[in-house]
Structure 1
Amino acid sequence: MSYVEFSSDAFIAAFFLYCFGFIFYMIAIGGKKWSNRDPKAHVKRWSRIAFIVSILGLAAHLTFFFTRWYGSKQIPTSNMYEFMTFLGMAIMIAFVIIFAIYRTALLGMFALPLTIIIVAYASVFPQEVQPLIPSLNTVWLKIHVTTAALGEAFFAVGFAAGLMYLLRVVDFKQTSKAAKRAQRWVEFTLYVLIIIIGFIITVFAFRGAGYEAEFLQEKVTIDNRGQESTATNTVVYTMPPIFKPYNSVTTSMDSFLGIQKPLLEAPSWMNGVNAGRKLNTVVWSIITGSLLYGVARLLLRKRLGAAIHPYMDGIDPEDLDEISYRAIAIGFPIFTLGALIFAMIWANIAWSRFWGWDPKEVWALITWLYYSAYLHLRLSRGWQGQRSAWLAVIGFVIVMFTLIGVNLIIAGLHSYAGV
């Protein structure tokens, strides 16, 4: 067995250990309500078990990282699969550091699912080792990517603590306008997380079923001299086509629930090679996520936030507010070094310029400016509590768009990451 194959086994082991760690954290927090013994002793015992299992998962994840590095002869952060697996590992490292400081068991109940989602999302992408392109083959890649991801990992922990704070302080029994507005936004945040889970489930379900549809798309472009040119591209779907590519014909399509042809065509302004496929993926993710959310609502017979809220009793909201702030405060200088300073050094080596207004560079700057504003409002304007928690939640949405949206939707020099 090669080191790369062994690393894949270690990765699977890490994923399942994270899942078990999350389950044990749920037992620690949820089980205290029906434990016949001292609730505090119950939480302490199961939290210790959950933390040990999580550490074992992190050890397996580190094994995956270093064995893949050794087997491939290059740091495994050069494409979306490798980067997202590294980000999941970095979130666990950040969680361990914050947990060692505050010893809050409930943090694991939110940080572990975030890691599991990111690790599962990474598995959507091709897992083969891909040779580094020349602009990536430098030591500054290692420094830039790893430090940027570690900074983003602390932002993720800040997001988890911020969401926990909102679930703790938002009263789902109040009926005032302000209370209802807060309830709706917390519920919408949980709904978006479920849509992401729905995306992962949809991809693996249709991949396991071997579904495929193929289209031939013509794209007409006009150059500066007014001359038209036509390019023909083959677009392959791995999900049933609700939207087919614009200006395309179906060459082959597996039947799904009796549907033999695409239902709709992507809008005319979405005429990129993969634009229709991405729109189709988004629609399927929303459908699957909405179904999951609906099933959860039927089983719980209440909003998800209202179902989670009672389990937050006994948690000091000021501690959650402090954890969220400290995590972001730790991550900000690391992100500054990795995503801006080291990135500009690497850009100068790779492309002979420090800044080029590439979409990824622009959104990294937007992320940095946002968290700069967060720290300014927190320290100078006294924005604490709910306002600070919402800023932490929104900030991580920006981080995820920088990581996923820019790589997979907006074309640029960083588009290689979406291969």
Structure 2
Amino acid sequence: MFYVIAIAGKKWSNRDPEQHERRWGRIAFGTSSLGLAAHLAFFFTRWAGSGQIPTSNMYEFMTFLGMSIMIAFTIVYFIYRKALLGMFALPLTVIIVAYASVFPQEVQPLIPALQNVWLKVHVTTAALGEAFFAVGFAAGLMYLLRVVDFKGKTKEARRSQFWVEFSLYTIIVIVGFIFAVFAFRGAGYEAQFVQEQSKIDTKGIESTTTETVDYTLPPIVKPYNSQAVSIESFLGMEEPLFEAPYWMNGVNSGRKLNTVVWSVIAGTLLYGLLRLVFRKPLGAVIHPVMEGIDPEDLDEISYRSIAIGFPIFTLGALIFAMIWANIAWGRFWGWDPKEVWALITWLFYSAYLHFRLSRGWQGLRSAWLAVIGFVIVLFTLIGVNLIIAGLHSYSGV
């Protein structure tokens, strides 16, 4: 809020605009620094209390990523002294920490594969590199909101308006997911299903296993070939509307698909409410706030943030990760889904820097690449951990 006042409040301030920005920028940076100090205290006290670095599950890793984004933002702020970046970097941090709070917060013992010092080096440096990518994403999105013509009627203008609006909608879907989970959790909603699975071993002997899965969101989608144990009624819905497709293996697949459906529903409702309130696209609402901001500053901040994060990510997500993989699993590379998507992320940002430096892709093209790159990062962090089974699935517990 203080960062928004520092930038957007210049229009209504009686002070000189630059003086207003400096004053509220200092207040905003001081407040966010106190938040970072509290987050660092949380991180180190949890580490000391548990005896293991708090990055072993989704709750711990995502809170660590939020802290890393604040560290990256603070470094970039000291370089450029631009309060405008806080308007987007801080909300991104809040969303990530809120997303982390959806997961179980208990300390979970490390599995044997994780009990190595290289885990600390690998995870922390990879997350710090991704944090700089997040800052680059924030600056890139701000650049798009600044330069896209939301009043234009040409085909190119409409295409740019659509994709910027879709980017904002995607962020709101994540926020909608958080709201939905906390709302139904606060209401104490529960549903439970049981699924029988038949397996035939190498000797041709068939065995049947029974698994149960608990839902905290009303079951629009139930697990494949399952029976309801208990379902609380919600808005007259006494049973699931759909069944997960047969190719979605695992009893938790239906619950994950159900979560995606609820995220889209809640996000769409929230987006529709905002459109109803403002009576215009959200990009067109934010665009006037960005007036007076030099787009070249945003372009430079986005590029420099990614340029700083790339070597850190290279060390953490590839080199240190391969050293740890060799110690933990006896091979440097195994085409695990997380490894593959980490490589895709690295190749994408390699292409970004190549196009930026060799082809002169600055401005609009560079901003779009910064936004797309962080979408890939989010899928690597969230999608691979929670959807695709692999050796890194433990972190999705």
Q: Give TM-score scaled by structure 2 length.
A: 0.98
Question: Are the equivalent residues in 1 in contact too, given 2:224–2:251 (CA < 8 A)?
Answer: no
Q: Where does 1:286-325 land on structure 2 (aligned, <5 Å)?
A: 286-325=264-303
| Deviation (angstroms), 1:143 | 0.4
Question: Are the equivalent residues in 2 in contact too, given 1:374–1:388 (CA < 8 A)?
Answer: yes
Q: Aligned to 1:146, which of 124, 142, 153?
A: 124
**SS of equivalent to 1:308:** helix
Q: Aligned to 1:280, which of 258, 263, 267?
A: 258
Equivalent in the alignment of 2:13: 35
Cα distance in 1 for partners of 2:199, 2:11 equals 64
Gaps of 5+ in 2: none
Equivalent in the alignment of 1:103: 81
Q: Where does 1:101-250 land on structure 2 (aligned, <5 Å)?
A: 101-221=79-199, 228-250=206-228
Give the aligned residue type for 1:236: D
Cα distance in 2 for partners of 1:378, 1:93 equals 25
Equivalent in the alignment of 2:238: 260
Q: Where does 1:379-418 land on structure 2 (aligned, <5 Å)?
A: 379-418=357-396
1:60 aligns with 2:38: yes
Give the aligned residue type for 2:129: G
Render the CA deviation track for 1:116-136: whole Å, top value 9, x for unaligned.
011011111111111111111
Question: Are the equivalent residues in 2 in contact too, given 1:220–1:229 (CA < 8 A)?
Answer: yes
Equivalent in the alignment of 2:317: 339
Question: Are the equivalent residues in 2 in contact too, given 1:77–1:145 (CA < 8 A)?
Answer: yes
Render the CA deviation track for 1:91-126: whole Å, top value 9, x for unaligned.
000000111111111100000011001101111111
Equivalent in the alignment of 1:26: 4
Name the Cα RMSD after superposition. Answer: 1.2
**SS of equivalent to 1:307:** helix
Aligned residues: 397
| Deviation (angstroms), 1:297 | 0.7
Question: Are the equivalent residues in 2 in contact too, given 1:170–1:182 (CA < 8 A)?
Answer: yes
| Deviation (angstroms), 1:75 | 0.7
Return closer, same or farther for 1:242/1:101 CA change in 2, 3 Å cut-off.
Answer: same
Cα distance in 1 for partners of 2:325, 2:247 equals 32
Cα distance in 1 for partners of 2:22, 2:276 equals 32
Cα distance in 1 for partners of 2:203, 2:371 equals 48
Give the aligned residue type for 1:300: F
Give the aligned residue type for 1:175: K
| Deviation (angstroms), 1:50 | 0.7
Equivalent in the alignment of 1:80: 58
Cα distance in 1 for partners of 2:85, 2:197 equals 49
Question: Are the equivalent residues in 1 in contact too, given 2:168–2:282 (CA < 8 A)?
Answer: yes
Give the aligned residue type for 1:416: Y
**SS of equivalent to 2:192:** strand
| Deviation (angstroms), 1:227 | 5.9
Give the aligned residue type for 2:334: G
Cα distance in 2 for partners of 1:193, 1:222 equals 44
| Deviation (angstroms), 1:266 | 1.5
**SS of equivalent to 1:132:** coil
Question: Are the equivalent residues in 2 in contact too, given 1:219–1:271 (CA < 8 A)?
Answer: no
Q: Aligned to 2:347, which of 326, 348, 369?
A: 369
Question: Are the equivalent residues in 2 in contact too, given 1:244–1:277 (CA < 8 A)?
Answer: yes
Give the aligned residue type for 2:84: L
Render the CA deviation track for 1:328-386: whole Å, top value 9, x for unaligned.
00000000000000001101111111111111111111111111111111111111111
Give the aligned residue type for 2:184: F
Cα distance in 1 for partners of 2:247, 2:197 equals 11
**SS of equivalent to 2:143:** helix
Question: Are the equivalent residues in 1 in contact too, given 2:338–2:380 (CA < 8 A)?
Answer: yes
**SS of equivalent to 2:39:** helix
Percent identical across equivalent pairs? 80
Cα distance in 1 for partners of 2:15, 2:320 equals 53
| Deviation (angstroms), 1:38 | 2.4
